[in-house]
Amino acid sequence: MARLRVSHIGICVSDWRQSLRFYHDVLGFRYLHELEVSGEPASHLLQLEKVELRAVYLEREGLRIELLHYQQPGPVSGPTPRPMNQLGFTHLSLRVDDLDEVVQELREAGVEVRDDTRIDLPAVHTKAVFISDPDGALIELVEQPGD
């Protein structure tokens, strides 16, 4: 098999500015660059007609994400939050040193913390909870020894 390298993970967003603030200002992803794409060959590659989109690239600790805002055709929403057993990508997971501190900071920034998902497992020194990005995409925060 030819050599494979990870490039990025794409996240479709309804408002690129709001999502940029969330991923950059709140979660600390570093802004790399952005571009606008329209027409061919993007329409062919993405299998959408008359594509007009803005792609914003961010990176944190080697993980690159691409925020995709479709001006044409507009974004399509599904169930929020997305069921974890729905086929396809389900969530982004981030390690944290102190879950309680991070959750408090995120609440102060207006981030939706999904308290109903929180687990605390003292026997294995693990805590976890999900938060939602501005469009409802799930992000898991995990505090666990052994990074």
From-to residues of CATH 3.10.180.10 in the chain: 9-72, 92-143
pLDDT of residue 72: 86
- Burial of 13: CB neighbours in 10 Å, binned 0-12, 13-18, 19+: buried
Would you say residue 106 has pLDDT above 80? yes
Give the whole-number percent of the chain exceeding pLDDT 90. Answer: 67
Which three-class secondary structure state does DSSP give residue 18?
A: helix
Using CA atoms, how far apart are residues 111 and 131, in angstroms rounded to an integer? 7
Of the candidate CATH numbers 3.10.180.10, 3.40.50.450, 3.30.470.20, 3.40.50.300, the domain formed by 9-72 belongs to: 3.10.180.10
CATH topology assigned to domain 92-143: 2,3-Dihydroxybiphenyl 1,2-Dioxygenase; domain 1 (3.10.180)
Q: Which pTM does this prediction carry?
A: 0.88
